[in-house]
Structure 1
Amino acid sequence: MTKQEVESLFEFPCQFPIKAMGRNVPDLDAIIVALIRCHVDDLSEGAVTTRLSKGGKFIAITVEIEAQSKAQLDAIYTDLNACPHITMTL
């Protein structure tokens, strides 16, 4: 699949769930939201959902955004993956 074909899979703007996981440390959700807010002007009420792992050791945070471009999504994921508290993004 070419780069152009991959980019055409999305029509921007669109609703897009950003998912990040890490150890259940205090304020991880706030850290993730702060990183995303650097790239998103307006997060709607209820945009953030969290889910603890069965043992409570890990937490998954989903932030639903209105993505404007692939470049915006790339920048968000670059920042999230650079954060030492985040172990995985989807």
Structure 2
Amino acid sequence: MSPVNESLFEFPCDFPIKVMGKAHPDFIETIATVVRQFDPEFDASRVEIRPSSGGNYTGLTVTVRAQSREQLDDIYRALTGHPMVKVVL
């Protein structure tokens, strides 16, 4: 039997993270800054942007180069704790 905490991913790997927040002119750069704290090589030009149909929210897909499960957990914690972020998937 394999250990419970064994990762399903092989690191390093590209890992997409979906982030939703209120539409704001600085939202994309703010999220990129948060992600760069944990992935200094993060390329903001690879961010996919989807405005909501009403224009009130912005959805982003940020793809990080994950080195470990701990790094991903840290990114998720930082994003979910950020006041501009509503949802992280």
Q: Distance in 2 between matches of 1:54 and 1:69?
A: 35
Structure 1 unaligned blocks of 5 or more: none
**Sequence identity percentage:** 41
Q: Distance in 1 between matches of 2:27 and 2:72?
A: 20
For the residue of structure 1 that corresponds to 2:48, the secondary structure is: strand
Residue 11 (structure 2) aligns with: 12
Alignment RMSD, CA only?
Answer: 1.4
**Structure 1 residue 42, shift from structure 2 partner:** 0.5
Give the 4+ runs in structure 1 shifted more than 4 A: none
* Aligned pairs for 1:23-62 within 5 A: 23-44=22-43, 46-62=45-61
Q: Is the 8 A contact 2:19 2:85 kept in 1?
A: yes
State the one-letter code of the partner of 2:4: K
TM-score by length of 1: 0.88
1:41-69 deviation digits (Å, cap 9, x = unpaired)? 21236321111011111100111111000
TM-score by length of 2: 0.89
